[in-house]
C-alpha cells in the first residue's frame, strides 16, 4: 500500500498534507504517530469525563495535528468541540450533542489508526 492509497482508505486529503508537510517522508513519519496514542485519545478521554478544560486543550491540539495531516473531517470536528468548550464561549450544544461529535471523532480516529496499522504491515 502506498501512502496515497492509505489516505484514500482513511478519507484523508493527501494533497493537503503534502502541501503542509512538503515531502512524503514527513507525511509518513507523522501519520504513523497516530497509532501511538496522543491528543485525539486525550480528547476522547476528556469527553468521557466531560472535562471542559481538558477537552479544549486536547481538541485544539487535535484540530491542528489532524489539519496538518490532511485529516480534514477529524480536524473540523475537533474544531467544533474546541469552540464549544472554549473558555468564555457560551455553550450552544447539549452534553449529548457533544458526545455525538466525540463518537464521530472516535470512529474516524479508529478508521485512521486501523488504516495506518495496515499501511505499516505492508
Task: Judge whether 68 lies within some domain.
Answer: yes
Task: Judge whether 45 lies within some domain.
Answer: yes
Task: Judge whether 122 lies within some domain.
Answer: no
- Residues 88, 75: Cα–Cα separation, whole Å: 22
Is residue 95 within 8 A of residue 57, CB to CB? The reply is no
Q: Position of cell 457560551?
A: 90
Give residue 37's pLDDT. 84
Q: What is the CATH number of the domain that holds 29?
A: 1.20.120
Segments forming the whole domain that contains residue 101: 3-117
- Residues 89, 68: Cα–Cα separation, whole Å: 25
CA 44 to each of CA 3, 15, 33, 81, 98: distance values in angstroms, whole numbers, following the listed order: 26, 27, 17, 11, 11
Task: Judge whether 108 lies within some domain.
Answer: yes
Give residue 122's pLDDT. 87
Task: Judge whether 19 lies within some domain.
Answer: yes
Task: Judge whether 79 lies within some domain.
Answer: yes
Task: Judge whether 18 lies within some domain.
Answer: yes
Q: How many domains is the chain partitioned into structurally?
A: 1
How do the pLDDT tens digits run along the chain, 122 residues long?
999 999 999 999 999 999 999 999 999 999 999 999 899 999 999 999 999 999 999 999 999 999 999 999 999 999 999 999 999 999 999 999 999 999 999 999 999 999 999 999 98
Amino acid at each position: 500500500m502506498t501512502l496515497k492509497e492509505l489516505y484514500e482508505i482513511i478519507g484523508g486529503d493527501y494533497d493537503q498534507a503534502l502541501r503542509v508537510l512538503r515531502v512524503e517522508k514527513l507525511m509518513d513519519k507523522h501519520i504513523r504517530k497516530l497509532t501511538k496514542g496522543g491528543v485525539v485519545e486525550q480528547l476522547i478521554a476528556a469527553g468521557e469525563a466531560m472535562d471542559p478544560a481538558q477537552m479544549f486543550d486536547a481538541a485544539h491540539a487535535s484540530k491542528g495535528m489532524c489539519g496538518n495531516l490532511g485529516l480534514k473531517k477529524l480536524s473540523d470536528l475537533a474544531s467544533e468541540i474546541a469552540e464549544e468548550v472554549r473558555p468564555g464561549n457560551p455553550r450552544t450544544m447539549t452534553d449529548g450533542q457533544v458526545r455525538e461529535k466525540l463518537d464521530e471523532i472516535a470512529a474516524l480516529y479508529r478508521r485512521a489508526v486501523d488504516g495506518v496499522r495496515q499501511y505499516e504491515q505492508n
